[in-house]
Structure 1
């Protein structure tokens, strides 16, 4: 028996959504065949060209949609030019045609269930009618409660969104942060939700031969690391970190991220202290984090998931524009002693210098945080598809009812395929 999985992310800003889905693809490819008793293949639909540069497991592939990104008056084409509405129609038709041909058994949508301005809704309705199991995957923090509630209302309300889903998987530890309790996840969606643990342990390694930053032979130990995710909104932190003074005997590696503007990278290099190397990208960021004496970073989900599996001390400087997601995540983790956090408005090179001097002599114990989401997701997927029993983690009442419904979906799907044949 072959199981087909599709994962979708719109990727208007950054690569966080696509990289989260890529980590899930590796976990599902590794663990789901044993649970289902057959092979597993998959397609990742993404909206940023850089996503397709990352390798996938055997039997999996990327479909990169023409890019949309944020502009002054809303979404605009990233590269193709022309009218944004026409490009959304092209993206919608492309995704729908691919999924019609692929006929997945399971679809996982990252963060935005209907895509940009509803572009993914036609495909979602098709798959729902065909009996495909549909999951909305969410990072543990969405936003402050009021804007989060308004966002669900703009989609037609939580009940309308829930009508298109079989489950919601929250990629976090409820003991750290639970969006079902903060108001970010309204009742109709909270009823569908199960927390998985952070997607920390088991993230895919860098490809062989890509173990060091591009354009550099690798940091000299002991070293400090500054990482800025994709880099599109990390220039301010990069300037502060580049101007800080590394402790004696320590090298400082600053990874700007592939999406930082060239002029910003040039400025960061011009003010970098002796002993600081500035590179655009590094394929092996998790390894670099684990081996660093200390890390300065923003508070994006993927960066912190990679950080939390290590004992490396971290100064986390959250982005405050657009959403309150990063400040809320940073505060929740700081309250547990897992990170140190400070706002960019009060951060100076002197503050970073002083923090480095203290941090390099310490390590951080994060063993109390649930970081096993990549092992849990394959089990939840198998249950949703009607295979296996729940083990090791309590599930919500709806998750149990979802397993009972899985048999009906499977039978319906077999009928649909029989007619098609």
Structure 2
């Protein structure tokens, strides 16, 4: 078999808050096994709900102990029995053991260049010494430039970027440069690739019987910071008298029990609202909607543009400004509508914005359509990198033979 089509990939997804990292890594893994008949992908994940998601053949996951991101941006152990430091040590050990067992030809790290609390650093160094290809994958938007600059300086990120063969940015260059605030060398810049957005597809499972069609979907992604959106949307929908209009609220698996109970209790006497906690097949739920009201996390945004849905985004602005930057940039392209959370707390204003988004054009009608070729480009970039690796290894073996 051609060595390009017979290789192993280890993906790192630190997953300390929400579902974004895991769902992005899973999407890429499924694209790789669909494109390369001999590839095997293992996803290292700290998500406590990773087992809720189905995985394609030749894709598996390795669970590491959970760590939680707090509202102030700091981290804590996901276990009451371990300190955060003990949790990181345990995570680092599992990652290294997995890498030594799998001996990956390629490592793809999602978003955190050194991993949570540098837990990937020793594995990256080991893998590079063994000849593995290493890729850092970044969202289209990470944070405001000045905030990212401070974070990367504090974590000493830039001096370790040489550990990576390439940096992939999961968006088009015309949309946003997530590294604009970082002073990077020409060598690092030359290894940076824009892939375009990562398109989403609908799984075989049909959710129409569960939830119907043509509802307005209100989603908070993982839900850990979605209470304000859900509460504001509930207040707005209470005033909606439009005949036949239905709303589906998906709270997310990380919304607290107290917040979940409150939203459900307050919605109990609103006839046109249905509330569910979580469904792993969110792609199909988005595809069946008439419009989406959300916070503009990366995955929700990609689903909106993949399924060409009208969308009203209510982005969070803390602890990161990522969602607000993405939502407002997408609005500039004419793809979505945006309302500030403080404005959305006014029920009449929020309902008027929902009415307006249902009448707007779809993203595909904009002058500049979204670039959704990200997965194809990732597969092409992977093949190029593996071709280069085989050439380097072959040349190395030839030199060894000449002197033996």
Q: Do these two structures clear the TM 0.5 threshold for a shared fold by scoring above it?
A: yes
- The one of 347, 350, 369 equivalent to 1:349 is 347
Q: How does 1:7-406 map to 2 (within 5 A)?
A: 7-33=11-37, 39-71=38-70, 74-158=74-158, 160-180=159-179, 182-184=180-182, 186-187=184-185, 189-200=188-199, 203=200, 205-206=202-203, 208=205, 211=207, 218-245=210-237, 246=240, 247-272=242-267, 273-347=270-344, 348-366=346-364, 368-386=369-387, 403=388
Q: CA deviation at 1:326?
A: 0.8
2:271 aligns to what SS in structure 1? coil
Structure 1 residues 91 and 58: CA distance shift in structure 2, 3 A? same
Query: Structure 1 unaligned runs (5+)?
Result: 34-38, 387-402, 417-421
Structure 1 residues 129 and 316: CA distance shift in structure 2, 3 A? same
2:210 aligns to what SS in structure 1? coil
C-alpha separation in 2, matches of 1:42 and 1:225? 32
* RMSD of aligned alpha carbons: 2.3
Query: Structure 2 unaligned runs (5+)?
Result: none
Q: CA deviation at 1:50?
A: 0.6
Q: TM-score, normalised by structure 2?
A: 0.89
Q: TM-score, normalised by structure 1?
A: 0.86
C-alpha separation in 1, matches of 2:399 and 2:61? 29
Q: CA deviation at 1:358?
A: 2.9
Contact 1:143 1:184 in 2 (8 A): no
Contact 1:67 1:80 in 2 (8 A): no
C-alpha separation in 2, matches of 1:81 and 1:120? 23
C-alpha separation in 2, matches of 1:342 and 1:276? 21
Which residue does 1:394 correspond to in 2?
none
C-alpha separation in 2, matches of 1:90 and 1:411? 39
Q: Which runs of 4+ in 1 moved over 6 A?
A: 413-416
Contact 1:221 1:251 in 2 (8 A): no
Contact 1:131 1:412 in 2 (8 A): no
288-297 vs 72-81, greater mean Cα deviation: 72-81
2:309 aligns to what SS in structure 1? coil
Contact 1:311 1:364 in 2 (8 A): yes
Which residue does 1:408 correspond to in 2?
392
